[in-house]
Structure 1
Amino acid sequence: MNTIDDKTIVKDYFNATGFDRWRRIYGDGEVNKVQEDIRIGHQKTIDTVLDWLKGEENLASLSVCDAGCGVGSLSIPLAEAGAKISASDISEKMVQEATKRAKETLGESNNVTFMVQDLEGLTGEYDTVICLDVLIHYPTEDAGKMINHLSSLAKSRLIISFAPKTLCLTLLKKIGELFPGPSKTTRAYQHREKEIVQILENNGFKIQRKAMNSTRFYYSRILEATRN
C-alpha cells in the first residue's frame, strides 16, 4: 500500500469512527479495559516528552511544531507552560476537538495555533519538532520520508515515537490480526529502531535521549535527536 492510500485511510478513519474512539481514549470519560490501557500508555508518552522539555526550564523561549497533534494532549500543556505551539493534524475533526479543548483550558491565549495539514505539507522552522504516535500508521519507507521532511523543519531538535519492531511485538500483532474488528481500520506498522536512527543520522541528527513506554496493548519507543 502506498503513501497516498495510507494517508487516505488514516484521514477518513480519524474523521469518522476513529475520531469518536480516540477522542474517548484521549479524554477522561468511561472507556473499556483495552482503551483504558492504551490511554495510560499514550499518557506515559506525553508525560515523558513534557518532563524532557520542562526539565530544561526554557519552554517559554521555544517554538514547537506538534505534528499529528490529535486532540491537543501535548500541545495544550506545552502552551500552558509558555511555549509557542504550531499544532497540526490530518483529521479536521481532531483539530476541531483540539481547538475546543485549548479554549477551555487556555482561554483566549495565542500560544497555540491549530491547523488541518498532513505532515508532508508542513512548512516553517521551529526550535523543536515533535511527532508522537503517528508513524505507526505508515510503513518504514513512507515514515522515513516523513522524518526527512520533519527534519527540515527542526532548527535544533526532533522528538518522535514509533512502535518498535521486535519478535515479541510482531507475534502479538499477528495474533491480533486473527481477530479483526470494526475498530481496526488502520494498519499498525512497526519499525526497526536502527533504521529510524539511521534516517535521523542521515539528516544530521544524533540521539540524545531514549525512552520506552509500554502497557499490555501500547508500545512506544521515543527518541530525542538533536542537530550535530
Structure 2
Amino acid sequence: MSATLETRTTATWDQYRGRLEEYFDRTALDAWAQLTSDAPVSKIRATVRAGRDEMRNVLLSWMPADLTGLRILDAGCGTGALAVEAAGRGADVVAIDVSASLVNIAQERAPTDLKGSIDWRAGDMMSPDLGAFDHVVAMDSLIHYPTDDIVDVLGTLSGRTRRSVVFTVTPRTPALMLMLAAGKLFPRADRAPAIAPAHIDALARRLAALPGCSVGRSRRVQGGFYTSQALELIRC
C-alpha cells in the first residue's frame, strides 16, 4: 500500500470507526444485546437475527471443521457468537471489536469449557500488534466503509494471514437502494451509521488483483431486512 493511499484510508477508517464506537457504546447497545440473544424481538429484527445466524454459519463452514491449533482473528466480534463457535472447534481466537461494551457482553456470555481459547479485546481490528493469523473473519464489520477502504483493509489483513480471509459486504441491489433511500427520508436518532453497498463483481476483480491472493467462494444471504454477501479471499 502506498504512503498516500495508507494516509487516506487511515483518515477515513478512523472517521467511520469513531461513529461506530459511539453508535454501539452509547446509542444502540441495548438493542444489539437483545438482537444477539434469545430474547423476543420484533418481526423486523427477527429477520435480521435469522440472517446473521445463517451468515455466521456460512463463514464458519468455509473454515476447517477442526480448528485445533489455528489462530483466528474475529474482526468485529460483537457479542461473540462466532468467536465462541470457532473456539469450540479448537481455535485460539483473538476477538476484537471497536465497542468495549459489546466485548464486555461477549465475555459475560462466553462459556468457560471451550476446546480452544478466546482473547477478548476492545480496539482496532487493523492494529499490527494483533500479529498474524491462519484465518481472519470479518462478519458485517466492513459494511459501513467505501469500497476503496474495503480493498485496502483486506489487502492489509491478507498480508498477515496464512490461509484465508472470509468476510461480508452489503451487495448493491435495487431493492436495497430503495430501502436505504426510504431510511434517509425518515431518519431516526438511533439509526446506525450509513451502510455503503458494494458492486460485488467489481469488488471481486479488485481483490483478485491483490498480491498473493485469489477470490474463492461467494454466497448471498437475503431475507427480510437482512442482505449480506459473503466472500472468501484465499492466500496463494
> By the TM > 0.5 criterion, same fold?
yes
Offset, 1:153: 1.8
CA–CA distance in structure 2, aligned partners of residues 181 and 16 of structure 1: 15
C-alpha deviations, 1:201-224, integer Å up to 9, x for none?
232221221111011111110012
1:8 match: secondary structure: helix
CA–CA distance in structure 2, aligned partners of residues 78 and 211 of structure 1: 20
CA–CA distance in structure 1, aligned partners of residues 135 and 152 of structure 2: 18
Offset, 1:50: 2.3
Aligned to 2:48: 38
Q: Hey, which bits of structure 1, 4+ residues long, moved more than 4 A?
A: 107-110
Normalising by structure 1, what TM-score? 0.91
Offset, 1:226: 1.0
Aligned to 2:124: 118
Residue pair 1:160, 1:224 contacting (<8 A) in 2 also? yes
Structure 1 counterpart of 2:132, which letter? E
Offset, 1:96: 0.8
CA–CA distance in structure 1, aligned partners of residues 115 and 99 of structure 2: 23
CA–CA distance in structure 1, aligned partners of residues 230 and 192 of structure 2: 24
**Does residue 1:63 correspond to 2:75, yes or no?**
no
Offset, 1:152: 1.8
Count, aligned residues? 224
CA–CA distance in structure 2, aligned partners of residues 185 and 222 of structure 1: 21
Which stretch shifts more, 108-117 or 75-84? 108-117
**Residue from 138, 151, 157 that aligns with 1:150:** 157
C-alpha deviations, 1:182-212, integer Å up to 9, x for none?
2313111111112322342232221221111
CA–CA distance in structure 2, aligned partners of residues 110 and 208 of structure 1: 27
Normalising by structure 2, what TM-score? 0.88
CA–CA distance in structure 2, aligned partners of residues 183 and 125 of structure 1: 36
CA–CA distance in structure 1, aligned partners of residues 68 and 114 of structure 2: 17
1:188 match: secondary structure: coil
Which stretch shifts more, 39-48 or 119-128? 119-128
C-alpha deviations, 1:143-179, integer Å up to 9, x for none?
2222222112211111010101122321221122222
**Residue from 175, 181, 196 that aligns with 2:182:** 175
**Does residue 1:82 correspond to 2:123, yes or no?**
no
CA–CA distance in structure 1, aligned partners of residues 115 and 229 of structure 2: 32
**Residue from 188, 191, 215 that aligns with 2:195:** 188
Residue pair 2:72, 2:93 contacting (<8 A) in 1 also? yes
CA–CA distance in structure 2, aligned partners of residues 57 and 177 of structure 1: 42
CA–CA distance in structure 1, aligned partners of residues 98 and 235 of structure 2: 27
CA–CA distance in structure 2, aligned partners of residues 78 and 133 of structure 1: 17
Offset, 1:110: 6.0
CA–CA distance in structure 2, aligned partners of residues 224 and 66 of structure 1: 15
Residue pair 1:119, 1:150 contacting (<8 A) in 2 also? no
Any gaps of 5 or more consecutive residues in structure 1? none
1:190 match: secondary structure: coil
Aligned to 2:234: 226
1:6 match: secondary structure: helix
